[in-house]
Structure 1
Amino acid sequence: MAMTDMTSCPVHQSFDPLAEPYLADPYPDMTAVREEVPAFYAPSIDMWVITRYDDIESAFKDPGTFSAAVGQRPVFPLTDEARAIIAGGFHASPVMSDCDPPKHTRIRRHNLKGFSARRVSVLEPKVWAKATQLVDDIRPGRVDLVPALTYPLPAYMIFTFIGFPDEDMDMLKSWCGNRIAFSWGRPSPEEQREIATNMVHYWRYCEEFVAKRAADPVDDFTSDLIRIHREDPEAISLEEITNVAYGLSFAGHETTTNFTGNAIRQLLSHREQWDALCADRSLVTAAVEETLRYDSSIIAWRRITTRPVTVGGVEIPADAKILLLLGAANRDPKYFSAPEDYDIMRGDVRAHLAFGKGIHYCIGAALARMEARIALDLLAQRAPGMRLVEDQELTFPANVSFRGPKHLLVDWP
């Protein structure tokens, strides 16, 4: 990759995480830049890119310097039309992944109560039941596992966790289409208009849903937050609960859809490891962790600096937009032996940064792990002979952060 050699200010003119070759397989470029320099400026996205495990972990652990405020802002400026649509009916504010202390500390504390071990454990039989239903519906022959399993399972579970009614799920999923491109990609003006309109619909739905739960709480995550609000309105407001429901309903299924698809693809691409897992399903947990390291659904995340900072000898100014290359960190040879190998038997896998680190560590990590574990366990039981369709052309969403196959064709036995 082309590097401009500038004292304390390396610039990669050719690094573009939205270029077709990178979208198809970002890891060769990630490895190259990690080996070349710990941080650099990328003009294509107007961001400073940090490449190595130690520096990325330090950034996660230093929210005072590396603010989360840009976590969900559009990478590129929106059109006037899209901004007008958003201003007219979308009133989200930072509460989770794009929020800093002290507000983040207050809201996360209450969200953690909702993600209690009890509530997550109560969901496990529901995950098994839904996954079994979806697999029961698959017929022998060529099958796309994304619409058949990896998309509907996490979507159903996170909507159920929040408390959205079953009858609304198709409508809600239709509003999520291409949402990733809005904040993390380069959508066309027409795409911006459509996505912005759907975001307004979704936001208004969340407002009405939270109002209903406020009037009549039940046994779900949203109602848990409502009860906290009733005890102390200053602890968490209804507007903040609406923001949590909106953000969680998106984050809780797109990432797990991609992650589960990545796991199936890697296991079937490494046939001997899939066969070993089918013979000994206790390996499922290890396979989940190795996929998180090797082919995570989030390969990069964003921050913005609050002051000048030096990363690996590279000087980064204040107010610099940052891209943390998690995919590069998770293959850093300093922490992982033979990092370019997919190996569900490796012993150093738990050091991965797939769920982040520090105060913004993914609040839904346990739920995501459980859903992927159940999906793989069930597939190993029911379809050990399934195989990837050879020579299929895999495509991935065009964005800087999220990665998973849009379609995944298998031959179902």
Structure 2
Amino acid sequence: MTDAMACPVNHSFDPLGDAYVADPYPILSGVREEAAAFYAPAIDMWVITRFDDIQSALMDPGTFSAAVGQRPVFPLAEEARAILKAGFHAYPVMSDCDPPRHTRIRRHNQKAFSARRIATLEPKVWAKATELVDAIEPGVVDLVSALTYPLPAYMIFTFIGFPDEDMDMLKSWCGNRIAFSWGRPTLDEQRDIASNMVNYWQYCEEFVAKRLAEPVDDFTSDLIRIHRADPESLSIPDITNVAYGLSFAGHETTTSFTGNAVRRLLVNRGQWDDLCADRSLIPKAVEEILRYDSSIPAWRRITTRAVTVGGVEIPANAKILLLLGAANRDAKHFEAPETFDVHREDSRKHLSFGQGIHYCIGAPLARMEARIALDLLAQRAPGMRLVEDQDFDFPANVSFRGPRKLLVDWPQ
């Protein structure tokens, strides 16, 4: 016998609906208060809403498998599958695989993604951010295209080792990639994205082959050296897969993260003024942005067995949506959780980078890039203001959130 409730259903919850895409947080807070877990027919997923339960799920990969993390939410059209089958050979690595494979791949990535290599990037981040800000002219500016997109894209491509002259081409192949795995793309969109994924994959294969022939001082070459020392532990296809996956994940989320940061700070003008007056607040502000308006407000898992969450029975092989954005505003863990406060002392407890074995390996780089961008903006443009009455456009998908444009009045 069990006291668990069987199959509570929320027919209204739809993270691809217009109201949720425009502002998910009232909906996230509402469902968190209503139930610890429920089934959402609109996305055919079970949804978990509260901090403690989500943290427990993240710490239990044996029950909550990562295998669905990057699979398309909805079945792909046959045409798109045929395009991928002809030339796209990626397979699960780190974010969407489980031990023991995950353990092996992550161990090698952590060696290459070392504190030393991250530290060597900081002056490069400063230099690139300064170059981008120097190019901004007074007037109305889209800060996404001017700064928050090109900075993390350039840095992750540089980190991997991709040549500067290839970056515009690579960025063009990333277009609308979020919709493919996390949204509901049209048939035409599926065909276009699938073709770009094939082009990107083949580029990564050729790039890794070049590094195998002639390693240099970059992340990919570090992985090549690990492969040469122990080919069985890290294969060339593994390295290609890592380069492909990291080059997307390493800039899209940081672009959204930094865009969310600037928007929230300028909306809360007094806190932006505080930060400009005392830039030592920036690390706290970075954590509060991650808590209050994460660029990844939800992530996916799949159950390996039946499990009870918050008194609710969830079956085996159930697709799961973990509402990180709801957890980060759980009043059980954060005082006045709906208030944005860059002075908050405990904001770093957020779950935005995950926890456990899948904790985001790029978290230090993302924090560094956001910190530097905010520091530079506070120095150069303390009088910057959001353009009034602009409509913020967010991509419709279940996992990622950030404005596609962010119009500001850049001062003289």
After TM superposition, the score normalised by the length of structure 2 is 0.99
Aligned counterpart in structure 1 of residue 294 of structure 2, from 293, 296, 303: 296
Distance 1:254 1:281 in 2: 26
1:307-346 equivalent positions in 2, closer than 5 A: 307-346=305-344
Percent of matched pairs sharing the same residue:
79
Query: Residues 50 and 327 of structure 2 are in contact (CA less than 8 Å); yes or no, is this contact kept in structure 1?
Result: yes
Aligned counterpart in structure 2 of residue 191 of structure 1, from 182, 189, 192: 189
Output one character per residue of 1:333-370: Cα deviation in whole Å (capped at 9) or x when no partner: 00000000000011111110000000000000000000
Aligned counterpart in structure 1 of residue 91 of structure 2, from 90, 93, 118: 93
Distance 2:395 2:369 in 1: 22
Distance 1:50 1:316 in 2: 10
Counterpart for residue 28 of structure 1: 26
Counterpart for residue 355 of structure 1: 353
Counterpart for residue 237 of structure 2: 239
Counterpart for residue 159 of structure 2: 161
Output one character per residue of 1:358-402: Cα deviation in whole Å (capped at 9) or x when no partner: 000000000000000000000000000000001000010110000
Query: Residues 300 and 327 of structure 1 are in contact (CA less than 8 Å); yes or no, is this contact kept in structure 2?
Result: yes
Distance 2:125 2:94 in 1: 25
Query: Residues 144 and 255 of structure 2 are in contact (CA less than 8 Å); yes or no, is this contact kept in structure 1?
Result: yes
1:3-402 equivalent positions in 2, closer than 5 A: 7-402=5-400
Q: Name the SS for the 2:95 alignment partner.
A: coil
* Residue identity matched to 1:274: W
Distance 1:56 1:333 in 2: 14
Q: Name the SS for the 2:409 alignment partner.
A: strand
Query: Residues 182 and 398 of structure 2 are in contact (CA less than 8 Å); yes or no, is this contact kept in structure 1?
Result: yes
Distance 1:176 1:16 in 2: 25
Q: Name the SS for the 1:192 alignment partner.
A: helix
Query: Residues 172 and 202 of structure 1 are in contact (CA less than 8 Å); yes or no, is this contact kept in structure 2?
Result: yes
* Residue identity matched to 1:74: P
Output one character per residue of 1:113-163: Cα deviation in whole Å (capped at 9) or x when no partner: 111110000000000000000000000000000000000000000000000
User: What is the aligned residue count?
Assistant: 408
Output one character per residue of 1:53-107: Cα deviation in whole Å (capped at 9) or x when no partner: 0000000000000000000000000000000001010000111100100000000
Q: Name the SS for the 1:97 alignment partner.
A: helix
Q: Name the SS for the 1:323 alignment partner.
A: strand
Distance 2:5 2:248 in 1: 42
Give the drift of 1:8.
Answer: 2.0
Distance 1:50 1:251 in 2: 24
Query: Residues 335 and 348 of structure 1 are in contact (CA less than 8 Å); yes or no, is this contact kept in structure 2?
Result: no
Distance 1:287 1:68 in 2: 30
Output one character per residue of 1:298-345: Cα deviation in whole Å (capped at 9) or x when no partner: 000000000000000100000000000000000000000000000001
Unaligned runs of 5+ in 1: 1-5
Distance 2:71 2:160 in 1: 24
* Residue identity matched to 1:397: P
Query: Residues 397 and 403 of structure 1 are in contact (CA less than 8 Å); yes or no, is this contact kept in structure 2?
Result: yes
* Residue identity matched to 1:182: F
Q: Name the SS for the 2:96 alignment partner.
A: coil
Q: Name the SS for the 1:302 alignment partner.
A: strand
* Residue identity matched to 2:165: E
Distance 2:28 2:384 in 1: 31
* Residue identity matched to 1:41: Y
Output one character per residue of 1:180-238: Cα deviation in whole Å (capped at 9) or x when no partner: 00000000000000000000000000000000000100000000000000000011000
* Residue identity matched to 1:295: D
Distance 1:385 1:172 in 2: 34
* Residue identity matched to 1:359: I
Structure 1 segments (4+ residues) deviating >2 Å: none
Give the drift of 1:256.
Answer: 0.1
Distance 1:181 1:94 in 2: 19
